[in-house]
Structure formats: C-alpha cells, structure tokens
Structure 1
Amino acid sequence: MANICNNLPINGKMDGDLEEEGSQLGEAKKELETWKIKVERANDVKARLILEKLEEDEAKTKAQQEMSAYVKRQEECQKEFTQSMTTVQDEILKLGKRKQDLLNKLKRCQDELEAERAESTKLKQKFKVICAQIPDTEVKFSAQNKEEKEDNSQQIRGVFAISQRPTVLLQGGQALITFEEEKVASQILKIAKCSVSCDNISLDVKPKRITMDPTVKFEVHLDVSRKKLKVSNVPPSMPEERMKDRLEMSFSRPSQGGGEVESVEYDKNTGTGQITFLNPGVAEILALMGWYLVDLDSEVNVQVGPINKYQLRKFQTFCGSPKRTILLDDIEDRVDEEELQDNLEIHFQKPSNYGGEIESIKYISRGKALQAFFLCENKLKMDNQL
C-alpha cells in the first residue's frame, strides 16, 4: 500500500511532463509542417528560377548567335560597301576622263564649226550673186530644134541660157580706166601713187587692181506638156473614185474647151489632180484660161495650169580680175567732175607717165555711186547712179 501511495505523485508528475512534451511535440510537428511548406515553396521558387535561368541562358545563346550573325552581316555589308565605293570611284574617274574627252571633242568641234562658219561666210560672200533675184525678161523664140519635132505633139521644149555680167561698184572719189593694151594697165598697177596735174594743183591717186564679184552662167531646160493639165483647189466633197468620174466628165465637154480624157489622177488630201487628154493642144488652151468650171454637187471653179518640168544644166561660176581695167582711188574733189575726168584721161594717155591709149574712162565725185558692168573682154557699161 505504501509503495502504491508513494508512486502516485511520481506518476502524476510524469504525466504532466508527458503532456508538456506532447504539446511541444505538436508544436514541433506544426513547425515542421510549416518548414515543409516553406521548403516546398523554396523548391518551387528554385525550380522556377532554374527554369528562368535556362530560358535566359537560351535567350542569351540566341542573342549571341543573332549578334554573331549581325556582326558577320555587318562585315559583309562593310565589304560590299568598300567594293561598291571602289567601283563608284573607278566609275567617277572614268566619267571624269570621259567628260574631259567630251569637252576636248566639243572644243575641237566648236573650232571646226567656227572654221566651217568662216568658210561658209567666205563662200557666201564669194558666191552671193548666185542667190540674186533674176529680173523679169522678155523671152524671144529664136529657132526650133529639128531633132525634137517628133516629140512636138507631146510637149513644148525650151532652153534658156542665163549669163550674168560681172559688176563693180564704183564709189565716190573713184575712177575706172580701161586701156587698149594689157601691158599699160600692168605698168600703172606697179606705181603706188600717181600725181595728176589739174590746173594749178596736183592730185594724188592710187591705182588698184579690181576685184569683181563672182558671176554665174547656166541653162534652164523647160518642158511644158501639151496633153497634161494640173488641177488644184478641188473641194473634198465626195469620195476619190466618184470625184475622178466627175472630173473626167467635166473636162470632156467640148463646149467648155475640154476634150477626150485619157486618164485622171486626184488626191483628196491635197485637193489637187492631173488630167491627161488624148489629143495634144487641149491642155494648152485650158492652162491659158486659169480656171475651169467643174460639175460636182454644184458647179465649182477649180484652178488649172500647165505641168512644167525643168532642169538646171551647165551651171558655171566665174571670178577674177580684168586685165585691161584698173581702179583709181582716193581722188579728191578739187575741181569739176568732167574737168577732173578729162585731166585723168590726159595724164594716163601719156607714155611718159607709163600710160597708153585709153578705151574708156569714168570718174564720179564723192557722195555718188555707180554700178559698172563688164560686157565682154573688159568692155564697160555704166548703170544709173545708185
């Protein structure tokens, strides 16, 4: 009994300790659960961080690869740029050389052009008379060529020979003298200055060789058809084929001077045509009329004319200086014009003055001008004063 009683307090104490230990154990379990949760969370965070690190490493590797590719591309671009720059510089050098060559060629062409212009101006000045207007001149029929009688029914043929006379413009204070002998003119031209006595004074004159303008000579061969007639100013009022029929009918009327038509040509765009008659002579008569009445949709006057063919032949140019005629220049008007001309003639007729027989002489005072024509072999004819 006693032992049992003695053991009761001890058991009681041990039970208290066990409860306390159980309480502590419970708290330890709770704390362990808490740490387990924290460890799991930490593991989750660690796993997430590992994944993120892997992703970042992958992104870093990809970025490094892209960077390497960009660097390589940059190097290639730099290389291409360098090559392109070298090519462009070479091209610039070639273009610069080409430009300089073109400038040199342009300079040569400009020099050649200036030379050609100077030559053209010189030729125009030399042959300016070729472009001169030929005055209206009455034509006289001289003879019929027997060899062309067979073609007389087809066309009228004419040959016109045009010959231009050499001219010299005589200015005031100048004189022209034509000697009978060439050697006299040659002797006078060797003298630089001649002193001519006139009353009580002495006049100095300068002998000069004459330079004449170029002249031309040519023939114009003209053929006038006796069967063909030119028609113009035809209004485009109907188709071409119908117009041809109307023209043929109109020009076939003898009452209007027409005749039998062989063929008709007509151009609607230009309003012109050509009528060929069967018999010669009809075209000549109608061409002299100038107008002809044609029956189209209404009666219309059309213009008619001859058909001519001409050809320029035997074209020749002449230039030179007369051998027996000289020019006296720088003559002062100290006396009357006729008196001074007489004194000039007397002076240059004397052999002591290296002169000789004079064929013709003409002097004009200052303020006047005269056109001198050389007819043939130094013979002069003076035109009206200009």
Structure 2
Amino acid sequence: MTESDEDSFIYLPNDSISSIGFLETMEEQTAREIKRYQDILKALEIDHLSLESSREQCEQEASRYQEAAESLHTKLLEYEDQAKAQKLAFQKEIERQTKERNQLLQEKEALEKELEQIEKLSIAKESLHKVDISLPERSVVFKGHAEEAEKEQTLPDPVVTQPQVRCPIPGGSALITFEDPEVANRIIEMGQHRVQLDECTYVNVKAEPMTLLLLASVEISVARSSRQVLLSGLPMLSVPEDKLLDKLELFFSKRQNQGGEVERVERLSGSGHVALTFVEDGVVERLVQRGRFQIPIGKEKHEIKVSHYVSGEITDFQFRPSVCDQTILLSGIPDVLDEELMRETLEIHFQKPSKGGGEVEAVVYVPTGVSAAAVFEEAKTM
C-alpha cells in the first residue's frame, strides 16, 4: 500500500466502533442525504412549476400590454391625424374669418362715411326746416283793462302772437300806470307808502316794479307734406264755397290733369287758400312740378298756383323778463274799503306830487280773495 492510498482512507480506532456499526451509520447518513436531496428536488420542481406559471402569466400580461400599446399607438396616430385635420380646418377658418373681418371693416368704413354724409345732409336739412325767429324787444303798458282770471292761471300763454299780454294779478293788490315813467320809478324807489283812507285811518302798501315774461324768440320746425298741396291765387267769386271745393276736387282727381284720387279738400281760414290731400304718393310732385293750372270755374278759366303744403310746429321758445316803465304793482292792500272806493283813494293818493306821485293814466284794484288778469298793451313809441 502506497502512501497515497493510505491517505485516501480514514482510520478509526478499533476500540471506538465496530465495523457493523460503522456501516449502519453510513447507510443512515446516506439515506438522510438522499431524502434531503429528494425534498430539495421536490421543492425545486414545485418552484419550477410556480415559476413556469408565473412566466406564462407574465407572457400573457406582456401580450396584453403589447396589444394595449399597439392599440394606443394606433389611436395616437388617429388622434394625430385628427389634430392635423383640425389644425388645417382651424387655419382655414381663421383665414376665412380674417378675410370676412377685413371685408366687414371695409363695409364699416364705407358705412361710416355714408353715415357722415347722411348726418351732414340731415343737419343741412334740419337747418333748412327750422326757422329761428327772434322777436324784437317791445315795451308794454297797462291801460286799465282787466279780466276775470281762473285761479290756476299763473303765467301768460307762452305763444303770444298778439300785441296784448295777460298777466294774473293776485287779490289784495293794485296796478297803477303813470303818464311819466320817471314818476313810476320814483314811487318804486320809495318802497313803502302810507295811504290815508279817512281822517283817522291809514294803510301801508308796498310799491314794486311790474315785471312780465315776454316772448323773446320762437323756433319753428317746418316740413313739406308728401300728399298735400296748397292751392293759391283763387279769385273772389260768387260761387258757393262747397261748389268751388267740389270743382277743385274733381279737376285734380283726373289723371290727364296730373292728379289722383283726392282724400280731403279744405279751405284754410284766414288765407283764402285750399289744401288738397291725395291718397297716393307721387301726385304732389307731378302737380308742383307743373306749378300752374288753368281751371274752369263758372264761365271762365282761372289760373291757380300749386305748391307744396308746408306745416309748421313750434319746437322751442324763449322768454325774457321785461319791466313796465310806466306801471307799478302795489301789494299788501287790506280789504277795508269796497273796490271802487279803494281804487279812487289810491288814484288820488298817487296823483299828489307831495307823495312822490304824478298824473295817473290807469288804475285797477283787486280785492282780497279775488283774482284777475290785467291786459297789457304795447306801448306807443314817441
């Protein structure tokens, strides 16, 4: 036995174990080892089966994820195509709207220019159709005429066209007109006056200037009617008015006379003219363009002029205060004498130069509880 052979064996003391016991121990160890490895193999097989199942599940999951990814990719491509299409459509819409906006801006500019022209024409037309009449300043004076006034009347009629102006006078007051304006001014400057009624009775009255609101200017808006004409130049005939109007209506209702169906015919009071109203538009222009017509009335023909019917309306008026130079207002007169006696007493008092007075032209006294309207007339210029 070589030295190497000796090294490959383990020598046990003969006195520790027997050969039979040693063999049994080796067999048990080997069996245990085999059993252990069998258990490990079985566990490995179980792990292998579990891993195989997990692998299949992972492959299935991966397959599903792959399919989902492919579906998402497809949808993404579709969305990209849709986005490109929408972008292109938006660009075209923006171009269309930009073009339309430019057209609208051009139309707006054209309309603004047209509106500017219309406004200029409207202003020019309005200035032609509005007449501003400035009335000359005039002086009025009270000459003693007064009328019974309604209690609610406080101002004169704003459209005063007559030379007379009516102004309400409250109860307990009087108006006195002096021949000399200097006397009226002196009485007003004195203010309070002590008027003797009898030997023992006096009353105090206050003298004030009499101020009226007179019409200073009137603005009249005039307009031409599209269906009315004015017939002027009618002669003074013995033909009754109704027959004259019938003849005019019949003449101007005929087409050969450039007329049309007449809706109304009326004689304008105070002027002698006649107004014809037609049913249709266009008749007025034909008649006015011709201007004059020879109309048979009675046994003769008379020339009648046809012109536009122009109506006017007062659109504005202005008043100005005017102080009566010769007339004063006395207020605060107590009701202690009858009307006639008080009027005479006031007239006598204010005629005395010693009281600052002078020659009286007119007097009116309005007792307490009574109201009247004094009539002022235009003063004559010297």
> TM-score, length-normalised on structure 2?
0.43
Which structure would you say has the larger RCO, counting Cα contacts within 8 Å and 6 or more residues apart?
2
